[in-house]
Amino acid sequence: MNKTTILKRTSRPFLVAAIAAIAAVSLTAAESTNAQQPVQRPGVARASDAPQSTSATYGDWVVQCQNGAPPKKTCEVMQVTQMKGKNEPFSRIIIVEPGKGEPLKLVVQVPVNVSFAAKVRVQTTASDPGLAAPFARCAPIGCFADFEINDEALKKLRAADGAGKLTFADATGRDVVIPMSFKGFSAALDALTRA
């Protein structure tokens, strides 16, 4: 026997065994890939198909929800004001529910040119003394005041359905008055608590 014949004889069984091993690994990988793929049934949405955010309008208020990893879903009620002729927001009034059983929180965002000496005031009518809170922080996007809403304040806000106002002092100490509306506020708050 010459060397070439020996190599051919010994390599053929090795080649057959290698092909069989590769085929077995490929088949096992294909089966595990198929087993990991969920079967999509017609008319049934997967969790990844759910919208990442939703919004609904109630009068002059908007309820926005962001879907996070289950069971995380965060929602807020918001009203945004803009200066005439400009497209960017001037102020935001946001109601959030920090967690089930915790009191609602009202957050006001206004431009950064504010005085920390005066409190921010949210009034349901011109004669209402309103809710007042100091500015808590400023960032490049604006300054923020946080209000905790107790049951009495919540009743007053829910009862309002007309024009109110948001007042704060700018850096020179002048009052800045921003008209706000309570039209649809109660319905938006109901939607927030159901979300």
In CATH terms, 47-194 corresponds, of 2.60.40.1880, 3.90.550.10, 3.40.50.300, 1.10.3720.10, to 2.60.40.1880
Q: 2 vs 8, 10, 14, 15, CA distance in Å? A: 10, 13, 19, 20
The alpha-carbon radius of gyration of the chain (Å, integer) is: 31
**Mean pLDDT calculated for residue range 113-117:** 93
Residue 2 in this model has a pLDDT that exceeds 90 = no
39-56 pLDDT, tens digit each: 444 444 455 555 688 999
Of 42-46, 57-61, 174-178, the range with the lowest mean pLDDT is: 42-46
Q: Does pLDDT of 27 surpass 60?
A: no
pLDDT of 9 higher than 60: no
Q: Is the pLDDT of residue 12 over 50?
A: no
Q: Say if residue 38's pLDDT is above 90.
A: no
Position 16 scores a pLDDT of 37
pLDDT reported for residue 103: 85
Kindly tell me the sign of the dihedral angle through the C-alpha atoms of 149, 155, 156, 160: positive
Asked whether the beta carbons of 63 and 74 are under 8 A apart, the reply is no
Token digits of residue 130: 């309103």
Split at pLDDT 50, 70, 90, the class of 68 is confident
Where do the domains of the chain lie? 1-37, 47-194
